[in-house]
Structure 1
Amino acid sequence: MARLETSAESPVPVRVVAIRLGEWIARLGEIWVDGQIAQLTRRPGVATQFLTLRDPDANISLNVTCPRGVLPDSVTEGTRVVLRARPDFYLERGSLSLRALEVRQVGLGELLARLEALKRLLAAEGLFAYERKRALPFLPRTIGLITGRASAAERDVVENARRRLPGARFRLENVAMQGSNAVTEVVDALRRLDRDPEVDVIVIARGGGSVEDLLPFSNETLVRAVSDAFTPVVSAIGHETDTPLLDLVADLAASTPTDAAKRIVPDIADELREVAQLRVRARARIRARVERETELMAGLPERLTRTIRGRLDRESDEVGGARDRLRRRLGALLDADRADLAHVRARVRALSPQATLDRGYAIVRREDGHVVRTPAEATGPLRVRVAGGDFDAVAVAAGRVAGDERADDA
C-alpha cells in the first residue's frame, strides 16, 4: 500500500485517511482473540448482539458484534472466551470493532491448565522463592486493606484485628474483587498503598467463590505487582482450600480473612498475660539468686579466713625455703671468696719484700733513704732492715770489705 504524501499545503481529506485505515485493517483478516467479556447486551428479536471484550491483564478493551447464533447462551459478563473475528473499521464513526464469527467459552480445565503453566513459569523466575519472603512487622503503624466495599472480608479483617489490638489503624482501598476490572483496580490500589510510608503491611482480602471468581488473583500482572512491592503483602483470598497464585507470591498466605487479622497484629490480651508471666518468672529468678548470694555471703568470712590462712601458710613456707636457699647460696659464695682470698694473700705474701727478708736477705738504705744496690753506694751512715727489724750500720772501705770477703772465702 503506497504511502500518503501530505503537507500543510496539500492535506488529504478525512475520508481518504479513513478509507486507507479501513483498507489496512481489513488486511489483518480473521484472527483468534483471547479475552474476558466485560459488558454484554442481549436484545430479544435483534439479529446482532453487542459485547465488550477486555484484556485480562491490561485496561484495554474492544467492542465486538456477534450475529445471532454465534454467542453461546452460557456466556455471561466475566466469562473468559476465545473468539474468531474479523476487524472492522466503520468509516462514518471512525471506530474499530471486531465482528465475531465464532465464540468459544474457555472451559475450567483449560483455565486450570493455563494457570498451571503460568505457575511453572513464575516459579522458574524465582517469584515464589522462600528467600524473597519478608517478615511482617510486629506492631504495624497502619494496615493497608484492599477488599470489596462493605464486604464480609473487610468486616472480618477490621473487626478481628481491632478486637486483638484496639485502635489498630487501617487505610482501606475498596475495589472490584471479581470481574473484568478486578486486576486493574487491585494493582492500582496495591501501588498506592505501597507508596504510603505509613503503611507497614498490605492485606488483600476476599471471601470465597468459584474458580472463575478467583481468577483475578492468579493473574500474572497482579502476581508480578505483588512481587515488586516494597511493603510486605498478606494474601487472604477465599477459604482454606482456595490457592490462587497470589498465595504463592505473597509474603504470608492466610487461610481466611479472619486468619489474616490474627497474623498481622498481636493479641494485646495475650501479650499482657505473657508480660505478667515474664514478670513472675523474673521475680522468682531474682529471689532465688538473692537467696543463693545470701547463703554464699553467710559462709564467706569463714571461707575467706581459711583461704587467707592457707595462703599465708603457703607463702610463709615459700619464704622460709627461699631464706634457707639464700643462706646456703651466700655461705657457698663466702667460702669460695675466702678460698680465693687466701690464695691471693699467699701469692701476695710470696711476692712481698717481707718474704724476701724472711729468707735472710736485708735492705740497706742510706741516710737520704736511697736503697744501696752497689758497694760504691754504701757511704756514710746506713740503715739496715732485716726480717726481725731495723738497725744502724757504718760502711767501711770497699777494698777491705772485698779483701775480707776473699779471705773469708778462702
Structure 2
Amino acid sequence: MENSQIVTVSALVELLQEVVEDNFVEVLVQGELANVSRPASGHCYFTLKDQKSQLRCAIFRSHLRALRFRPEEGSEVVCRGRVSIYPQRGDLQLIVEGMEPVGVGSLQLAFEQLQQKLAAEGLFDPHRKKNLPEFPQTIGVVTSATGAAIHDILTVLRRRSAGVKVLLRAVRVQGEGAAEEISAAIADLNREASADILIVGRGGGSREDLWAFNEEVVARAIAASEIPIISAVGHEVDISISDLVADLRAATPSAAAELVVQNRLDLERHLDQLVLRLGQQMKSRLLLLQSRLQGLEKRLKAPFEEIRLQRLQLQQLYLRLDQAMKAIWADCHERLAIASGRLDALSPLAVLARGYALVKQAETGALVKSFEQVEAGDRLQIQLAAGELIATVEKAAKKL
C-alpha cells in the first residue's frame, strides 16, 4: 500500500462535503416525514423516506418559523434544500429551507391543523360566545386606516345610527407582523374598556392577503377578549379562523356595522307597533272589566233584602230542625217501649210472678237446680215473687 493513497477521515469527509455541497446546492425531494423531533433549540430534525431509502434532514428555527403549517409524522411533503455532510459523524443530510405538503396547499393544511387544535380546546364552542349589546355607544374597530373596510363601516354607521362613537385602532392587516399588531390592538382595547363591542377584520383579498386572520395569536386574542367581537374578514365566501372564534361572524365589514346598530326608523316603527298593540290590549281589557262590573251590579242586592232572605232561611231551618227532633223523639220512644216489653218478657221476676221460685243454698247462695245438690237438714233460701222463705230439707229424692 503506497502512502500517497492514504488520507485521514477528516480529509475524506471534507472532500465528500465539498463534492456534495457544490453539486447539490438546491434540490427538491419528495418523501414521507418520519422520526420528527423538535428539541428545545427550536430546530426540527426528521427523516425523509420512501419505500426503498431514507435521508436524514434538518430544518433550522428561522426556516421552520416561515412554514405555514406544522410538519407532522407521516405527512407526504416536498422539501427544498441543500445536501450537506455532517463532519462529526460523516452523515449525509438534507438541510431543508422550504417545505410544501403534497396534494394540498400549505395554507389549507395550516388552516386545518389550527382549526383542529383550537376546536379540541373548545375555542369554537357556542356556549363560550358572548351576546352582543343591543345599543352600543362606542364601537371599536381593528383594521387598516386606509382600507375599504373602515370606509364601509363608517358609511353604514352614519346612515343607520347617528351619534355612535367609533374608536379606530389602525393596524396592518396583511404581511409579516400583521397578526401580532391585530392581537395587540384587541388586547389594548380590552385594557382601555372604553368600547362596547369590537369589529375585527378587513376587506377582500387572496388567501395569502387574509392569512393574518388565520394566525393562532389572533385567534387566542379574540378568545381572551372580554368585549364581544364581530369578525368581518374578506367577502361572504371567505371563512377564517377569526370567524370561528369570534362571538359573531359577519360576511363583510359593512354587514358587521349593520349588525352592531339598529336603524332608528326601524326602531321607531317597532315602537309604534308596540304602542298600537298596547292600546288595543288596554281597550280590550277595559271592555272586559266593564262587562264584569255590569254583571256584578245586576247580581248585587240591597243589604236589608239580603238580611230578610237570610232570616227567612233561618226560620225555615229552625222549623225543619224542630220537626226532625220530634220525629226522632217519637221514634226513640217507640223503640224504647218495644225494648221494655221484650225485657219484661224475659225478666226472671215475671217468671216468679207466675208462681215459680228460686231456690238457693242458704249458706253459699248457690242456685239449687237438682235434688242431688242438697241433703236432709240443709237450709235453703227460697225467693218468691213477693218476699223469700228460709226452709230446712227433710228429704231429698228424685221425682217419680
User: TM range, normalised to the smaller chain?
Assistant: 0.5 to 0.7
Within 2, Cα distance between the matches of 1:282 and 1:104?
69
Identity over aligned residues, as a percent?
32
Residue number in structure 2 paired with 1:274: 270
Is residue 252 of structure 1 aligned with residue 252 of structure 2? no
Aligned partners of 2:140 and 2:198 also within 8 Å: yes
1:154 aligns with 2:150: yes
Letter in 2 for 1:116: E
Do residues 228 (structure 1) and 224 (structure 2) align?
Answer: yes
Q: State how far apart, in whole Å, the 2-side matches of 1:257 and 1:234 are.
A: 9
Mapping of residues 300-339 of structure 1, within 5 Å: 300-305=296-301, 315=310, 318-328=313-323
Work out whether residues 198 and 228 of structure 2, in 8 Å CA contact, stay in contact via their aligned partners in 1.
Answer: yes
**Aligned residue for 2:59?**
32
| CA positional deviation for 1:281 | 1.6
Partner residue, 1:195: 191
TM-score (norm 1): 0.55
Q: What amino acid is the match of 2:59? A: W
Residues 118-170 of structure 1 show CA distances to partners (whole Å, capped at 9, x for unaligned) of 11111011110010111000011211100101221001112212321101111
Alignment-mate amino acid for residue 108 of structure 2: L
Report the AA paired with residue 207 of structure 1.
Answer: G
Please list the CA deviations of residues 175-222 of structure 1 after superposition, one character each: whole Å capped at 9, or x if unmatched. 000000111110110001111222111110200111111111111111
| Unaligned ranges ≥5, structure 2 | 1-40, 46-55, 70-77, 84-93, 332-400
Q: Which region of structure 1 is more displaced relative to structure 2, 283-292 or 239-248? A: 283-292
- For 1:173 and 1:120, how far apart are their aligned partners in 2? 30
- Give the partner amino acid of 1:199: A
| Equivalent-residue separation in structure 1 for 2:266 and 2:100 (angstroms) | 49
Q: 1:183 to 1:265 in 2, by over 3 A?
A: same
Which residue, out of 68, 93, 109, partners 1:113?
109
- The CA distance in 2 between the partners of 1:85 and 1:190, in whole Å, is 41
Q: Distance in 1 between matches of 2:183 and 2:303?
A: 77
Distance 1:30 1:124 in 2: 31
**Is the 1:36–1:55 contact (alpha carbons within 8 Å) kept by the matching residues of 2?**
yes
Aligned length, in residue pairs: 262
1:289 aligns with 2:285: yes
Query: Cα distance 1:104–1:36, how it changes in 2: closer, same or farther (>3 A)?
Result: closer
Answer yes or no: is the 8 Å Cα contact 2:236–2:251 preserved in 1: yes
Query: What are the Cα deviations for residues 257-277 of structure 1, in whole angstroms up to 9, with x where unaligned?
Result: 011011111111100111011
Shift of residue 113, structure 1, vs aligned partner: 1.2
Q: Is the 8 A contact 2:203 2:253 kept in 1?
A: yes
Q: Secondary structure at the match of 2:198?
A: strand
**TM-align CA RMSD:** 4.0
Structure 2 counterpart of 1:152, one-letter code? A
SS class of match (1:199) = coil
Match of 1:185 in 2: 181
Identify if the C-alpha distance between structure 1 residues 312 and 56 changes in structure 2 by more than 3 Å, giving closer, same or farther: farther
Q: CA deviation at 1:233?
A: 0.8
Deviation at 1:330, TM superposition (A): 7.0
- Show the counterpart of 1:170: 166
Contact 2:68 2:107 in 1 (8 A): no
1:29-178 map, 5 Å = 31-33=58-60, 103-104=97-98, 106=100, 109-178=105-174
Tell me whether 1:215 sits opposite 2:211 in the alignment. Answer: yes
CA distance in 2, matches of 1:308, 1:179: 97
Alpha carbons of structure 1 residues 290 and 155: separation in structure 2 relative to 1, 3 Å: same
- Opposite residue 322 of structure 1, the aligned amino acid is L
Pair 1:240–1:283, CA change in 2 (3 A): same
> Cα–Cα, structure 1 residues 322 and 33, in superposed 2: closer, same or farther, change >3 Å?
farther
CA contact (8 A) 2:100 2:106 kept: yes
| CA distance, structure 2, for counterparts of residue 82 and residue 132 of structure 1 | 40
Query: Which residue of 2 is the match for residue 408 of structure 1?
Result: none
C-alpha displacement of 1:231: 0.9
How big is each residue's C-alpha offset from its partner over 1:103-129, in whole Å with a ceiling of 9 and x where there is no partner?
A: 437577122012102111110111100
1:30: how far off? 8.4
